[in-house]
A and B are shown apart, each in its own frame.
Chain A
């Protein structure tokens, strides 16, 4: 997985007057964005390296069932006696991986479709926009239910739902960013000079939509994690013995009165992860969208 942050080579600015002044420190002068970035890096690090930490196995029983936090198990144990801390660490990994993986695929498809819609003329444009409308307007839960009936509940159902939610927005955002670029003179010039559509996309459109896309990726991942959480909570997504943050809340909700930490801690961690990606997305948008800078 690769979550990319402000790259050292700045994206070509959309506004012709803006200079190449990308701050070297990410989100300088934006404490919220930096907090989000810090949180994001911390959670990704926990997800990546957590399994190597000496915190016990997420699938082996410790013998104590539904033990409260403290008492030898930092966050207590679940109904089968599995320690919650390693399960939550695994949940962080699973949740971030699913959302990030699916969103990256949706981004590639969305960027291609969005740029193509902007380049290919009105008919194709209309068709692509209508298609995204239909996908967008179809309730996610129905998609997840259909997939889990056909393929059995599991990661695939959750991933299909995340894909269906994030793709249409990505197409729209890219298309909206690409449309004004297509009308600019340098694109017309390139077209007249005989540049192929693929070259127009690669050389002229991509650098100009990159900033918008990166911000949208962060938003999409945060929404994807919420969707995955809901699906796995309902038992349509990640299945035991694997764990995602949503599936932990789902199994913990049965024991809310005995051991509230079981459901609430993974829920809070999920909220923090979503918040981290949201804040980073917000900060990235502020950096790439010059109209927003004035208001803050």
Chain B
């Protein structure tokens, strides 16, 4: 297990460095907006005292590295500043919206796996010409359906016909699960289509490759049934590439949820940031981007560690 601990240590270090680089990039981007930061943050008719107070609060007269350290230090202690438009603390605003975005991303990811893996499995295993042709068409279509089209279609159908789904009207999952799913499912479906295509492509490729491996030939020769072979050899061995794609996709979903949030009028982090971008509400954008990036780095790190568990060879190789 010492090897694995070392592997985990290296991954943790990489995650930390990545996050540090991202925070510098976010900070630099925010300080390079046209006009000085104080001008941007204040209304044009602000009194000099307000300006002085702001400069004092954020230490805007300090050298840039000192400003960065102050900002990063505050961020680490859970203070991302206040929204310019509402005056609310960015952290508490993000916290109250995180549930929507996280649920959408997880549900979308789950749908992508539930549809993509079986389809890819069928596509990778079947040998008949008709089945492979069908799978190829289906795969191309899934990869080509724009999420904005799927979402617009769903919104139109839901608002025009009697269907058991709603646009907006989000209820917290634990207070009313049924109403929650009524609002969440169409939104999650919207953002899961591309993921279904990605997961299907990867599964199909991995399964097709594994199916021609000697150990599968050996299993066939031993007389194992198709179900046994899939369960014992194919699923586990194809899990690593599928997991890779899935992790990247889950990160995409954390941002991609914004499309569903906008279309279905859901109060998630994504819509909050997009609105803030429109209002040039910098503390919100800055804080939300940092939090989203941190969440993403965390996911990639967890997935990397999971590789080490799924395929011990990976941990052993990287630790050297």
Interfacial chain A residues near B270, Cβ < 8 Å: 141
Q: Which of under 10, 10 to 19, 20 to 34, or 35 or more describes the interface residues of A?
A: 35 or more
CB distance from A162 to the nearest CB of B (A): 14
B152, B194, B251, B300: which contacts A253 (Cβ < 8 A)? B152
> Looking at the complex, which of A71-79, A113-121, A268-276 is the stretch in contact with chain B?
A268-276
Contacting A at CB under 8 A, from B252-275, are 252, 254-256, 258-259, 262-263, 270, 273-274
Q: What per-residue 1/0 map shows which CB atoms of A119-161 lie under 8 Å from chain B?
A: 0000000000000001011111110011011100100000000
> Looking at the complex, which of A85-93, A103-111, A193-201, A225-233 is the stretch in contact with chain B?
A225-233
Q: What per-residue 1/0 map shows which CB atoms of B141-164 lie under 8 Å from chain A?
A: 101111111001101100110000
Is B278 part of the contact surface with A, judged by Cβ < 8 Å?
yes
Is B85 part of the contact surface with A, judged by Cβ < 8 Å?
no
Interfacial chain B residues near A256, Cβ < 8 Å: 152, 155-156, 159
Is A222 part of the contact surface with B, judged by Cβ < 8 Å?
yes
Is B72 part of the contact surface with A, judged by Cβ < 8 Å?
no
Given A234-B262, A267-B152, A229 contacting B136 (CB threshold 8 A): no
Interfacial chain A residues near B29, Cβ < 8 Å: 146, 149-150
Once the chains bind, are A236 and B277 in contact (CB under 8 Å)?
Answer: yes
Is A32 part of the contact surface with B, judged by Cβ < 8 Å?
yes
B127, B148, B280: which contacts A229 (Cβ < 8 A)? B148
Once the chains bind, are A253 and B274 in contact (CB under 8 Å)?
Answer: no
Is A290 part of the contact surface with B, judged by Cβ < 8 Å?
no
Once the chains bind, are B297 and A142 in contact (CB under 8 Å)?
Answer: no
B153, B248, B263: which contacts A137 (Cβ < 8 A)? B248
B32, B129, B144, B255: which contacts A274 (Cβ < 8 A)? B144
Interfacial chain B residues near A148, Cβ < 8 Å: 277
> Looking at the complex, which of A14-22, A53-61, A257-265 is the stretch in contact with chain B?
A257-265
Once the chains bind, are A138 and B146 in contact (CB under 8 Å)?
Answer: no
CB distance from B217 to the nearest CB of A (A): 16
Once the chains bind, are B156 and A138 in contact (CB under 8 Å)?
Answer: no
Determine the residue in chain B with the shortest Cβ distance to A275: B144
Once the chains bind, are A253 and B155 in contact (CB under 8 Å)?
Answer: yes
Interfacial chain B residues near A222, Cβ < 8 Å: 143-144
Once the chains bind, are A234 and B258 in contact (CB under 8 Å)?
Answer: yes
Q: Once the chains are docked, how many angstroms separate the CA of A230 from the CA of B300?
A: 23
Q: What per-residue 1/0 map shows which CB atoms of A271-296 lie under 8 Å from chain B?
A: 10011001100100000000000011
Is A235 part of the contact surface with B, judged by Cβ < 8 Å?
yes
Once the chains bind, are B280 and A149 in contact (CB under 8 Å)?
Answer: yes
Q: Once the chains are docked, how many angstroms separate the CA of A32 from the CA of B274?
A: 39
Is B289 part of the contact surface with A, judged by Cβ < 8 Å?
yes
Interfacial chain A residues near B46, Cβ < 8 Å: none
Is A246 part of the contact surface with B, judged by Cβ < 8 Å?
yes
Once the chains bind, are A142 and B289 in contact (CB under 8 Å)?
Answer: yes
Is A47 part of the contact surface with B, judged by Cβ < 8 Å?
no
Interfacial chain B residues near A230, Cβ < 8 Å: 146-148, 256, 259
Once the chains bind, are A137 and B296 in contact (CB under 8 Å)?
Answer: yes
Interfacial chain A residues near B292, Cβ < 8 Å: 139, 142
Once the chains bind, are B22 and A264 in contact (CB under 8 Å)?
Answer: no
Contacting A at CB under 8 A, from B14-63, are 18, 21-22, 25-26, 29-30, 32-33
By Cβ-Cβ distance, the 4 closest A-B pairs, closest first, are A141-B255, A267-B149, A275-B144, A139-B255
Which residues of chain B have a CB within 8 Å of any CB of chain A?
18, 21-22, 25-26, 29-30, 32-33, 127, 129, 132-133, 136-137, 140-141, 143-149, 152-153, 155-156, 159-160, 194, 208, 248, 251-252, 254-256, 258-259, 262-263, 270, 273-274, 277-278, 280, 282, 285, 289, 292-293, 296-297, 300
11 pairs of residues in contact across A and B, judged by CB atoms under 8 Å: A138-B296, A150-B29, A229-B146, A233-B262, A246-B146, A257-B156, A270-B146, A274-B144, A275-B144, A278-B143, A295-B127
What 18 additional pairs, Cβ within 8 angstroms, besides A138-B22, A146-B285, A252-B152? A136-B248, A139-B252, A140-B255, A142-B293, A145-B273, A145-B277, A146-B25, A149-B33, A230-B148, A233-B259, A246-B146, A249-B149, A253-B263, A257-B156, A267-B148, A270-B146, A295-B208, A296-B129
